Structure 1
């Protein structure tokens, strides 16, 4: 983004974004040729992950019958579904905290009901449709713009919410890889040393980030916009919130697994987080295909039909049902918004002058 307009000043608060005139300097980006090379590397890696996952799913499908999957679905109890839906609610409730903390960092006051609506609907839509910068950004803008939040600020909010997600995933992955290195090695067929090393490096990265933001104010550039990152205190809140969300989301699938699987939750957490990360890297909507393939490989010691049945129910509970609820809420929001706009227009037409308008402005 370019332009000469300053979107923040000393009095506006450090959490605002700043647009600077002229071409981006060295702080704001790399040469376009280098960016182009890395974009191709990312594209090839994403396609490779997706292709490998598709192959795994294709091979697995030939060893599992539809009847076995239906039987596995039938074995899931009402109690399991009830706990799963409760954990879905907890996860999405914690997701609203992502936007809440981001708005607090940016010193923007928005009622929590608006924050909850924008957060829930944006995540539910982007989780299912993919392309989160486009889908979640559009939903957030539609709701937050009515509260005076500008597009650059919404972009800033999205960045801070993303940091919350990765801090939570990082702390959960680092802890589970180190604490359950042996159990994970048996499931994933990796060495205990590799698991411990990966967990240690992940934990060091999280701790390093926390130290980095605690020393002084840190800024990142988003297409020429300068954004201050949260400090240590708020970052710790982000980490706790993200970790809680990751545990709740993983718990949804964990309780849907067949009884007597013998996998403890800490071990399962590491597998779940790795599967989520691979799904994100693949850029597939909701990590579909990649997430399932990773879980099927990691839990290959369990009956494949039962794991696949649990994965299908997980998609239904965590993705499809919230997506349908989000569409209903967005539709209701638009209807109420249009009715209110029509009512205001009628008031203006019937006022016959500036009096009513002035009274509304004064109120």
Structure 2
């Protein structure tokens, strides 16, 4: 029987409130002058991104007629709609796989059913509300409590999920920007030299992460805490499943666009940049910033087609999963008193 990787740090004391324990499991935030400057800078960046995205959206869509968007929605057909819903389901299933590996990395062994259910609820809520690590960590802590999963284990699994997304989207974007043909990149606003350089840097960063996990087996010390890196096998799971997850999510928009609008490899590069911009903005679900960035990077895409694809993406990947997750969480809350 394989020995689980050592947990990153010890359990927090049980007498702390939930919020304090989750905060203790994450890096400390010190109030030194450099930190304060960085915080103010991080507050300005979302404002700038949101303003720029608002301008791009107004420029591209202010004269767009609702009838044009409705016509694009009708063009999808049942096959594209079912395909978008299926891709959304596959993406959340892949997140559940990462959740399972992350829990095992932290020494928690749970059956597949509660792991997949909790991963779906936590990710669906966090995707829509923003503050992914804190929100999804709080949801996980509540749902895993009955299985004896400690808060440090919850925090570790949450960080594992976050790193899986980061490594996965870097791999996907790097491969897409490196492999897309110059003709495909011409359909986007990404210049070929910029695409090649960015792709190489992203893949080099991913390779550096994998090498660090393979060669640096002693725990790291940062922010006053000790963190054991994943094993090389688990890091490869983060890379492969994370890339597949992001590729699946990107395909939701891509299949809703008219055929031939943009090559998929060029599209995933633009999609990854838009995702990162949405995350940096701290706007819940990156709403507006994601769409504005992707619109700017796909100037040749018809405005009505892109607007309709954004609508389908938000419904299939955000709003519908959020509704199902909230109903599931409500049902769990109503049933929980009878279990005690």
Query: TM above 0.5, one fold?
Result: yes
Match of 1:37 in 2: 37
Match of 1:135 in 2: 135
**SS at structure 1 position matched to 2:226:** strand
Q: Does 2:281 match 1:282?
A: yes
Distance 1:15-1:47 versus aligned 2 partners, 3 A rule: same
Are the counterparts in 1 of residues 184 and 263 from structure 2 also a CA contact under 8 Å?
no
Match of 1:336 in 2: 335
Task: Output aligned runs, 1:8-23, within 5 Å.
Answer: 14-18=6-10
Match of 1:54 in 2: 54
Match of 2:17 in 1: none
Match of 1:297 in 2: 296
Q: Deviations over 1:283-308 (max 9, x none)?
A: 11111101111222222212101110
Counterpart Cα distance in 1 of 2:180 and 2:47: 31
**SS at structure 2 position matched to 1:187:** coil
Counterpart Cα distance in 2 of 1:48 and 1:16: 36
Q: Which runs of 5+ in 2 are unaligned?
A: 14-23
Counterpart Cα distance in 2 of 1:174 and 1:223: 30
Counterpart Cα distance in 2 of 1:222 and 1:106: 18
Match of 2:232 in 1: 232
Are the counterparts in 2 of residues 19 and 225 from structure 1 also a CA contact under 8 Å?
no
Distance 1:294-1:13 versus aligned 2 partners, 3 A rule: closer
Q: Deviations over 1:76-133 (max 9, x none)?
A: 2011001111111110000111211111111111222111111100100011111223
Counterpart Cα distance in 1 of 2:5 and 2:198: 38
Are the counterparts in 2 of residues 57 and 293 from structure 1 also a CA contact under 8 Å?
yes
Distance 1:188-1:143 versus aligned 2 partners, 3 A rule: same
Offset of 1:222 from its aligned partner? 7.1
Task: Output aligned runs, 1:50-199, within 5 Å.
Answer: 50-180=50-180, 182-183=182-183, 185-199=185-199
Are the counterparts in 2 of residues 181 and 195 from structure 1 also a CA contact under 8 Å?
no
Counterpart Cα distance in 1 of 2:332 and 2:139: 11
Are the counterparts in 2 of residues 183 and 267 from structure 1 also a CA contact under 8 Å?
no
Q: Structure 1 stretch 150-159 or stretch 307-316: which is displaced more? A: 150-159
Counterpart Cα distance in 1 of 2:133 and 2:220: 17
Q: Deviations over 1:264-315 (max 9, x none)?
A: 2111111111111111111111111011112222222121011101111110
Counterpart Cα distance in 2 of 1:202 and 1:59: 31
Q: Deviations over 1:15-59 (max 9, x none)?
A: 2413799xx9xx978772222222222222222111100111122
Are the counterparts in 1 of residues 108 and 153 from structure 2 also a CA contact under 8 Å?
no
Distance 1:171-1:77 versus aligned 2 partners, 3 A rule: same
**SS at structure 2 position matched to 1:226:** strand
**Larger relative contact order (Cα-Cα within 8 Å, sequence gap ≥ 6):** 2
Counterpart Cα distance in 2 of 1:202 and 1:183: 22
Offset of 1:196 from its aligned partner? 0.6
Counterpart Cα distance in 2 of 1:313 and 1:28: 39
Are the counterparts in 2 of residues 18 and 227 from structure 1 also a CA contact under 8 Å?
no
Q: Which runs of 5+ in 1 are unaligned?
A: 1-10, 342-363
Q: Which has the larger radius of gyration?
A: 1
Offset of 1:134 from its aligned partner? 3.0
Q: Deviations over 1:122-149 (max 9, x none)?
A: 1000111112233212211110111112
Are the counterparts in 2 of residues 177 and 184 from structure 1 also a CA contact under 8 Å?
no
Counterpart Cα distance in 2 of 1:30 and 1:232: 32
Q: What is the RMSD of the two structures over their aligned residues, measured on CA atoms?
A: 2.4
Are the counterparts in 2 of residues 19 and 224 from structure 1 also a CA contact under 8 Å?
no
Distance 1:79-1:137 versus aligned 2 partners, 3 A rule: same
The normalised TM-score by structure 2 is: 0.89
Alignment length, in residue pairs?
326
